[in-house]
């Protein structure tokens, strides 16, 4: 990553860097595999390949994991795909954009919400149906299974 990862606390918690979602977001950003971030279904579904012996997280579990991380997390509604996307915050974003707990909201998404619980409810309503159906990838305006030639090889690169 060109920008230094922002630590929200003075101490460094190595366990955050070992989490599948951190490895995924860091790897995809470092390799320019996304422009703005990854969707929750994509992040959650990637665990099947990064940590195949672990159960998939729920939306609530992942959002709470993000919120308890030492890293700030950017959220925005990606204009390219029309979905909420997440990425590890670049240094200084939390000083420029609106924050809600550990999230840096870089557009007007969630402007009316006052806490993470309200955001979790919206995200569960929006994405649970796709996660349950294992449609983790958004392409050409539709939710689909991971593309075995495009998505899965990139996910399997994550170490």
In tens, the pLDDT along 109-153 reads 999 999 999 999 999 999 999 999 999 999 989 999 999 999 999
pLDDT band per the 50, 70, 90 thresholds, residue 55: very high
- Report how far residue 140's alpha carbon sits from residue 119's, in angstroms, rounded to the nearest whole number: 26
Q: What is the spatial distance between Cα 26 and Cα 70, in angstroms, rounded to a whole number? A: 14
| Closest C-alpha to 42, from 31, 54, 53, 50 | 50
Contact yes or no for 92/122 (Cβ under 8 A)? no
The pTM assigned to this predicted structure is: 0.90
> Residue 17 has what pLDDT?
87
Residue 14: the pLDDT is 56
Beta strands in the chain (DSSP E): 73-78, 83-88, 98-100, 103-105, 137-139, 142-144
The fraction of the chain above a pLDDT of 90, given in percent, is 82
How does 48-60 read in b/e, with b if 16+ C-beta sit within 10 Å? bbbeeeeebbebe
Our measurement of the distance from residue 45's CA atom to the centroid of its chain's CA atoms, rounded to an integer in Å, reads 11
Mean pLDDT of 10-35: 84
């Amino acid at each position: 990553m060109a920008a230094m990862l922002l630590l929200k606390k003075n101490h460094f918690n190595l366990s955050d860097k070992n989490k599948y979602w951190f490895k995924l977001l860091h790897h995809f950003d470092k390799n320019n595999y996304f422009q703005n971030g990854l969707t929750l279904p994509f992040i959650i579904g990637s665990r099947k390949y990064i940590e195949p012996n672990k159960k998939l997280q729920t939306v609530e579990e992942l959002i709470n994991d993000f919120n308890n991380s030492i890293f700030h997390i950017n959220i925005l509604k990606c204009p390219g795909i029309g979905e909420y996307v997440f990425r590890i915050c670049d240094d200084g974003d939390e000083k420029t954009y609106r924050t809600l707990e550990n999230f840096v909201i870089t557009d007007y998404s969630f402007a009316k919400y006052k806490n993470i619980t309200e955001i979790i409810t919206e995200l569960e309503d929006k994405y649970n149906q796709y996660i349950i159906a294992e449609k983790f990838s958004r392409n050409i305006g539709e939710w689909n299974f991971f593309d075995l030639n495009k998505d899965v090889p990139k996910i399997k690169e994550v170490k």
